Structures are given as structure tokens and as C-alpha cells.
Amino acid sequence: MAWHKVIKSKSSGGLGLGSIHNKNLALLFKWLWNLDNGVVGGWQEHILLKYRPHFINGIPEFTGSLSPTWHGIVSAILSTQNIANLLHANVGFKVGDGRNIRFWTDSWLSSVTTLQLLFPRLYNLSLQQKSSLADIYNLTDTSFNLSWRRPLRPRENGMRESLIAEVQRGLIFSDSADRKLWKFHSSGMYSAQSGCVLFDSLSATENNHSPVLLWNGYAPPKVDVFIWLLLHGSLSTQSFLAERRIINYEESHCPFCCKETETINHLFHWCPITWSLWGCFLNWFGCSGCLHKDPYQNLQEWSGLINGKF
Ligand SMILES: [Zn+2]
């Protein structure tokens, strides 16, 4: 059984073991999350003073040489572009006094993007690319203090008006201090568990959802595992063993009919003995029908029987 199938969540068709690699990333990211989360003093202050990271949308970017520990944390998290993009897309801000939020590069508007991405031309012209929201926008009298490298042209003035309208429309602030938000969870707080779920979603490329009858308590766990192996073609049938040269092909006949090779489809669908057993079940439920040849589809159709439809 391929390991990437085993570690996928049960809802995605796996056994739900989870990726150790993603768990490690989620735990490491907690250090970066806590580094700039309004905590003053202690190890955060020491790291900020020593390495002076530049924050982009709440995620630090370090320049210069780091200690081996911090180099390991940063390189593990930010060296993979997909992970970095995923984190940037899921970090936002709740505006308090605006002093710890970067006006251009932090995602603090109700929209999901940043002003840098919405107005790239104005960002390039700005003399305040690293300024805080409070430096540029007065939350009390709602006035702007924008400065540019040169006078704006008529078209750029139109962009400036659009920017002001965007800020006034999208700004939601509270009386509390600025706070980072983890958009992936309704609480807004980052946890290693929610980080792990997010990272796992990145690697869930195959869309193999588990049938509704699986993993829901209808059967003991060992039966669920048996069905899961069946759906993945990994039951140790005679043909499975013969393909791996554990037994000879001559010995791989179905023990019921002794005519065909014992494959999963034969053993569970096509064998006359099995077929008559399915017929008994259908009669028992007082209905008739045909069975899908694919085990997954077959199981889905039986779930309809549980719900009174077949
Ligand atoms: Zn048979």
C-alpha cells in the first residue's frame, strides 16, 4: 500500500494516519506565529532584536545569518513556495490601533488580498512601503497621509481615489490592540492541529472520498479496515499473492467455484456463489437490482439502501 494513501485523512479516502512531515511543519510554524504576536519580552524580544526580521503579512523574512536552530525553522517553513503561499493566504489581521500592521503588505482589509497586490503601481511609487497603517491612515479623523516619489499623474490620481475608497469600505477595527488572525480556523487562532490540516490539504491531490458507509460506526473497525483494503485492491486474494510470487498461478483459483482466478472482483461480485449471496441479501431487504462491478460504486449504492433508497 502506497504510504501517501495511508496518511491521507479518512474523509479523503486514506487511513487518517497523517503526515509526520506536515505535523513537523505545523509545529515549527508555531514558532514563527508566536514571534510577532503582540508578546513583548522574553525570547520574542531577543530574536527580534538579534535578527531584525522583515515581516510580510505577518510572516517574518530574515536576512543575514541565523543561528542553526532558527535557520532550521525558517528554511523548513519558507523554502517550499507552496507552503509559503498557503501561509500568506491564511494569515490576516484584526485592526486595533494600526501600529503593528503594515499598510501595504499586510492582509488587514476584509478582502483577502493586500493593497500592494491591489494597487501595485501606487505601491511602487510610495515612499512608505514599510509604514504602519497608523502612520498612513488616521483612525480617529479618517484622514490619509500618503507620500509619493513624484507627483501623481491623472490616471494614478484615480487609482489613489480607488485606494482610499477601498480602505474606507474594507476597514473593520476594534478598540483592542492589533491582532494576527489565522483565517483557516473560525477562532482566528493558529494551532498546530489546524496548520497540519491545512498542509495536508496541499498534498491531497487525489480526490478519493471514502464511501459514506465507511468509518461511521456501522461496522467494527477491523471490518472498516478490511473494506478499505478491498477498495484499494490490496486484499491478499489468491491472484494478489500469485502476482507477488508467494503462491503459484496454478493455485490461485477461487475456493468457491474452483473455475476462475480469485481476484477481488470475482470473489466479491462475479463468482456464482457470491452472486447468489448478494441475491439473498437483496431479497431480505425486499428489493431487486443489479450490482455495480466497481466495489466503490457498489458500496455507495448500498448506502442508499441504508437510507431507504436503492
Ligand atoms: Zn468463484
Residues (pLDDT < 70) of the chain are 38-41, 111-112, 170, 172-175, 203-212, 289-290, 303-310
Q: Using the mean position of ligand 1's atoms as its centre, give its distance from the Cα of residue 274 in Å.
A: 7
φ and ψ of 134, to 5 deg: -65, -30
Question: What integer pLDDT is reported at residue 136 of this predicted model?
Answer: 92
N-term to C-term CA, the chain: 32
What is the pTM assigned to this prediction?
A: 0.66
CA 128 to each of CA 94, 122, 277: distance values in angstroms, whole numbers, following the listed order: 21, 11, 76
C-alpha cell at 52: 531584525
Q: Using the mean position of ligand 1's atoms as its centre, give its distance from the Cα of residue 95 in Å.
A: 68
Question: What integer pLDDT is reported at residue 113 of this predicted model?
Answer: 80
Q: Using the mean position of ligand 1's atoms as its centre, give its distance from the Cα of residue 227 in Å.
A: 19
Q: Residues with beta carbon < 5 A to ion ligand 1?
A: 254, 256-257, 271
State pLDDT tens for residues 159-202.
Answer: 999 999 888 876 766 667 788 889 899 888 999 999 988 888 77
Q: Using the mean position of ligand 1's atoms as its centre, give its distance from the Cα of residue 93 in Å.
A: 63
Q: Using the mean position of ligand 1's atoms as its centre, give its distance from the Cα of residue 260 in Å.
A: 6
CB distance 9 to 193 below 8 Å: no
Q: Using the mean position of ligand 1's atoms as its centre, give its distance from the Cα of residue 206 in Å.
A: 32
* Amino acid found at 194: S
Q: d(Cα 195, Cα 189) in Å, to the nearest integer?
A: 10
Q: Using the mean position of ligand 1's atoms as its centre, give its distance from the Cα of residue 258 in Å.
A: 6
Question: What integer pLDDT is reported at residue 127 of this predicted model?
Answer: 95
Q: Using the mean position of ligand 1's atoms as its centre, give its distance from the Cα of residue 101 in Å.
A: 69
C-alpha cell at 36: 510577532
CA 9 to each of CA 95, 101, 114, 173, 286: distance values in angstroms, whole numbers, following the listed order: 35, 36, 32, 37, 36
Q: Using the mean position of ligand 1's atoms as its centre, give its distance from the Cα of residue 281 in Å.
A: 18
Q: Using the mean position of ligand 1's atoms as its centre, give its distance from the Cα of residue 309 in Å.
A: 29
Other Cβ atoms within 10 Å of 81 Cβ, number: 8
* 83: nearest Cα among 29, 38, 163: 29
> Could you identify the residue written with the cell 466503490?
296
